[in-house]
Chains A and B, each alone.
Chain A
Amino acid sequence: MHEFNEPFFTAWQLVAGADARLGDIVLLSLRVSLAATLIACVAGMPIGALLAVGRFPGRRVLIVLFNGLMGLPPVVVGLLVYLLLSRAGPLGRFGLLFSPTAMVIAQAVLVTPIVTALTRQVIADEWTEYREQLRSLGASRTRAAATLLWDGRFSLSTAALAGFGRAIAEVGAVMIVGGNIDGVTRVMTTTIALETSKGDLPLALALGLILISLVLAINAVAYALRGWAQRHWG
């Protein structure tokens, strides 16, 4: 049982002591996963909206595809991006491997299907409510997609959060394309993996607690914001 008490204490000590290296690691985790989620939203939300309101050949296939890609194993994504960015690979000349940029790319690839599929779901639900009125007003399908994206912005925040949660919690992709380099590409999850492999389980658990708390806090803030927005905009 004491094995479970110690991490709480260690976690508190780490945070209270404002350990600089811990701060760097947390900041890097946030930067990488936030950037990846942003890219996933910019890319995936319009696609998701078009999939919801559009009518074009292959639409059903695409829907199934994106739903399936939600379950992409992070380590597979990491491997694919690694092969792309490696010097021996097609994009090698940019020298992006083992950098935070590579990590952002890998996580963006991982998260985009999630954001796309969830956006499609949200917009499809909105579409049933808005369809007749928007068509009556003369909105084209693309215009309608854009309108619903903005109108559904609060529900879409859930999609973005889901994507972010997946990004910040994964270790397979960032480990492979980042290399877990001390001070450069070391994030919370890879640090936890490293400390675990060094046998320092209490420290690893403590870091895990910090990670969980961070994610919970972000979710709580988002929930509160949604509530405020609901009351404010209806």
Chain B
Amino acid sequence: MYPARFDYQAPATLDEALDVLGERGEDVKVLAGGQSLIPLMKLRFAQPSMLVDINRIPGLDFIDASNGYLRIGALVRHNSVVTSDVVRRTNQTVAHAAPWVSDPIVRNLGTVCGSLAHADPQGDWASVMLACGAEVVARKKSGERVIPMTEFITDVFTTQLEPDELVTEVRVPKYAGPSGGTYLKLERKVGDYATVGVATHLTLDAAGRIVQAGIAMTAVGATNIKAVEAERALIGAEPTADAFTQASRLAAQASEPQDDVRGSAAYKRHVVEVFVHRGLATAAELARAA
């Protein structure tokens, strides 16, 4: 299968890339890992007139934990997250999710930021970032803005990004206090999209109570869903099985799964409930050990 014809540029600097986006923004796509974009182009669901390949731009493949954030640059591949000690030390939700993204070969090219910008409701990273309170940094020629993850994805395959903007990094705040988190994913086979995915995160205070809670769900709605009411119910609570039961029910209610080849809506909602409970229990255990 072949994509429609397109022009191709591989700029050597970020400024050059932003210039091209500024000039031809509307119909240009940014090529990072290409593991979602190229299949879409081959199927002719996407027909950009130009690709701006950012892979030759130095300095975009950083994973960095300074200034209060875990920062993941635009060219960080999923597999670089899998093997990163910095990630493992800084954020367990991110660390646990990385090996479950697609398959090992796709992970060698696909990028975290590209996956977020692609905004597939079955993408794993958006749930992780929603649960962790992350922000996306987007740049265009005239400047930079920071977009909270809760506002970044607006619809199926749709984000707030302007045509002339490029995601340069996603950053996850470091938590004040003992924290834990995980990502649970049910998939039919390696590389398949999630039947259900659930990202969880908890931060405890000195007395062991929950001061921060993050829960977000993959593949059970038109976008990744942040289970806001479930999160709210946990704030100030002891991390007990009862609290997790209540939160998992609220999260299941907030999910909007549909019947499809991967399972019935009722089945998926049940999996959400089980995964939220299990994920929170693991997060609490990890936080207590932190």
Asked if A pairs with B, the answer is: no
Binding site for A on B (CB under 8 A): none
